[in-house]
């Protein structure tokens, strides 16, 4: 089950990309690229999992260093204080989640 505010990530050929879950309806999930807030796309829960996305965090990510009028309009108003510290994940909402990379040296 995908919830609003969660963060999902996917490893591409060149980097690890993370997305905020902006909206969840009965059939559609709207995702926003953390690095590019103007980049939004819609998918379904089944496609999200089958495409290789993994849940990184249940705590939302709120970028407090955004500049420019267009970018500010594209971002939803946060429902939590960006400086709220989640002791379970050891980061505040304004701190970018750590990328989840496979441990290649343990095998």
Burial of 11-23, coded b for 16+ CB within 10 Å and e otherwise, reads eeeeeebbbbbbe
- Report pLDDT for 14: 85
Residue pLDDT, tens place only, 39-48: 999 999 999 9
Residue pLDDT, tens place only, 61-99: 888 776 666 655 655 666 778 888 888 788 888 888 887
The whole-angstrom separation of Cα 32 and Cα 41 is 7
Beta-bridge partner residues of 17: 10
The whole-angstrom separation of Cα 3 and Cα 6 is 6
Nearest to 11 by CA among 104, 103, 85, 99: 99
């Amino acid at each position: 089950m995908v919830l609003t505010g969660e963060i999902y990530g996917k490893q591409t050929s060149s980097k690890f990309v993370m997305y905020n879950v902006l909206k969840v309806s009965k059939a559609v999930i709207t995702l926003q690229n953390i690095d590019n807030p103007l980049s939004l796309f819609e998918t379904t829960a089944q496609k999200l999992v089958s495409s290789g996305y993994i849940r990184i965090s249940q705590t939302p990510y709120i970028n407090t260093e955004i500049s420019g009028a267009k970018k500010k309009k594209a971002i939803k108003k946060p429902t939590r204080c960006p400086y709220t510290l989640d002791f379970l994940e050891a980061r505040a909402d304004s701190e970018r989640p750590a990328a989840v990379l496979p441990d290649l040296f343990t095998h």
